[in-house]
Amino acid sequence: MAEQRRDQRDGRGARESAGAVGEARRRSVRAEEAHAWGALVATARRTVSDGLVVGTSGNVSVRVGDTVLVTPSGVPYDRLAPADTVGVDLDGRQVLGTLLPTSELPMHLAVYRSTDAHAVVHTHAVHATAVSTLVPELPSVHYMSGALGGPVRVAPYATYGTEELAENMLQALADRSACLLQNHGTIAYGDSLDQAFDRTAQLEWMCRLWLTASSVPGLSPTLLTGEQVAEAGERLRGYGQRGRAAG
């Protein structure tokens, strides 16, 4: 994948190549950022173990105040350590670390500037990416579409890492917490890393469900109406135990 190859080239030797510039901008990592970085790395590793990304093809971020911690470009997640913390401000200026941020930083920052998100997960999940090449919107094959705000849209294709892709993504995310990226993958956000990851996993599962159901010769999946999806979304807002994350 071009994005993955680019990230690998960018990340190779990043500690050395970014040193001169990074040192001038770098500050000490605060306690809450250190804690958030540990959770971010765990989430990034989970995207690999759960089959949502291959290698370094996805990226994860979490917001701590006005700082966005983000996975670095081209570094395998199992090699990330506390010393590898990467952080930028909301204008994209690097304030933590010397490793280069992911090439998809424009998408992450666009989400934080436009929503109340605290975490973002981007993947190249197989079934979701396949669906992104077939339809402009994921058919409402399951009521969990309501948990993402409604039918999941597909953002038109644009080159990875560009402002054009970020803008296309924002349009697809209007009133939604996740979308597909045409011929590319998924992006989802939430109040926490766990929520952003769970929404990503749910989206991949729904895409797999639709592909499976629609592959039966001579039959078409029964789809839910907009009203049915909206009603499910309302009920899901109160789902789970009080004082605990829904799941």
| Alpha-carbon gap, residue 93 to 178, rounded angstroms | 26
Q: Is the dihedral of CA 82, 90, 92, 117 positive or negative?
A: positive
Category of 122 on φ-ψ map: left (φ > 0), alpha (ψ -120 to 50) or beta: beta
Catalytic residue among 104, 164, 227, 234: 104
**SS3 of 122, please?**
strand
199 φ/ψ angles, rounded to the nearest 5 degrees: -65, -40
Q: What spatial distance separates the first Cα and last Cα of the chain, rounded to whole Å?
A: 33
**Are 104 and 122 in contact, with CB atoms under 8 Å apart?**
yes
Question: CA geometry: angle at 46 spanning 51 and 154, to 5°?
Answer: 60
Which residues, at least 6 apart from 185, have a Cβ–Cβ distance to it below 8 Å? 57, 58, 122, 123, 124, 125, 128, 129, 132
| Alpha-carbon gap, residue 72 to 63, rounded angstroms | 15
104 is catalytic: yes
| Residue 38, token pair as written in the block | 């540990």
Q: Is the dihedral of CA 69, 70, 74, 76 positive or negative?
A: positive
Residues annotated as part of the active site: 104
